[in-house]
Amino acid sequence: MATIQILNKETLSDKKYPLKYIRYEKPDSEGKFQNLEKEVYFRPDAVTALLVDDERKKILLTRQFRLPAFLNGSDSGYMVETCAGIIDENESPEQTIRREAEEEMGCEIHDLEKVAGAYTSSGGITEFVHFFIARYNDKDRNGKGGGLKDEGEDIEIIEMGFNEAREKLKQGEFRDAKTILLLQHFFLNQGVR
């Protein structure tokens, strides 16, 4: 069986995370080698979680400005999303999502359940995201949240009822893939714990 050969890597940018131009060789379906080129953004792995309060039938989401969405046609650039963040070195996905829930949501989480893992855009980004459902209740909301100011985060916390979230999902009002995936998973499996 033929293998993929990396022929050349050129760094196009290394300001925050590396963007590289890569030439490689791989066999096609007939076994003939093709020379191909691709730009690849080496973004670290990440986590995301839908925070659920089963008793009050509520979820916690964030609302924050996303420059790429704004540049690609979103009128305001503000996205409603699940809690998320990049995994720090020597940190597990579970540790990361607990830290992010504190920083972004001002909330302790429990009954953490991993429901999926996926590449966000495997055609051009290395990032792999770990997807969780986590439980919280009103007593767990012990901080103000809002993210880290020194990282430029200015996060609004949105608590939304199950019915409202389900309707917004049906109407296509969510524009963030990780949020859509977690909401769909939750509503398809609600009550199956």
Instruction: Kindly report, residue by residue over 129-140, the tens digit of the pLDDT.
Output: 999 999 998 887
Which distant-in-sequence residues (6+ apart) come within 8 Å of 39 by Cβ?
12, 19, 20, 21, 22, 124
pLDDT in tens, 23-76: 999 998 888 999 999 999 999 999 999 999 999 999 999 999 999 999 999 889
Q: pTM of the full predicted structure?
A: 0.89
**Domain 46-189 CATH superfamily:** Nucleoside Triphosphate Pyrophosphohydrolase (3.90.79.10)
The CATH 3.90.79.10 domain(s) of the chain lie at 46-189
Alpha helix (H) residue ranges in 30-108: 67-71, 93-100
- Per-residue pLDDT tens for 112-170? 999 999 999 999 999 999 999 999 988 877 766 655 455 656 788 999 999 999 999 99
**Is the pLDDT assigned to residue 191 strictly greater than 80?**
no
